Amino acid sequence: MSDTPGKQQNTAAFYGQAVASFAVAMAATAIGIYQLSADAWVRAFLAIAVLYLVTSAFTLSKVIRDRQEGAGVAPSYAPYEKR
């Protein structure tokens, strides 16, 4: 048996669920903003805020993923490790 961990792959079902969940959340938010009884500029501001939040979330998840991939398997910080 090998002790070398392989790269984990997500299943197609997990990927599909994540994409569907994202699509439903974005659609529900867009419908909610569209149906909001407010001036057009308020709805536009909320729509831009949602788009900014989504792009920031994608960027944050990419940064976290890149940091974890760069760290390798073992954590770079182990405060309770005996020397």
Q: What is the pLDDT of residues 21-79, one digit of tens each?
A: 999 999 999 999 999 999 999 999 999 999 999 999 999 999 998 988 887 655 556 66
The pLDDT score that the predictor gives to residue 10 is 83
**How far is the C-alpha of 57 from the C-alpha of 61, rounded, in Å?**
6
pTM reported for the whole predicted model: 0.67
Mean pLDDT, range 5-11, rounded to an integer: 72
Residues 41/27, Cβ–Cβ less than 8 Å: no
The pLDDT score that the predictor gives to residue 22 is 95
The pLDDT score that the predictor gives to residue 54 is 95
The pLDDT score that the predictor gives to residue 82 is 64
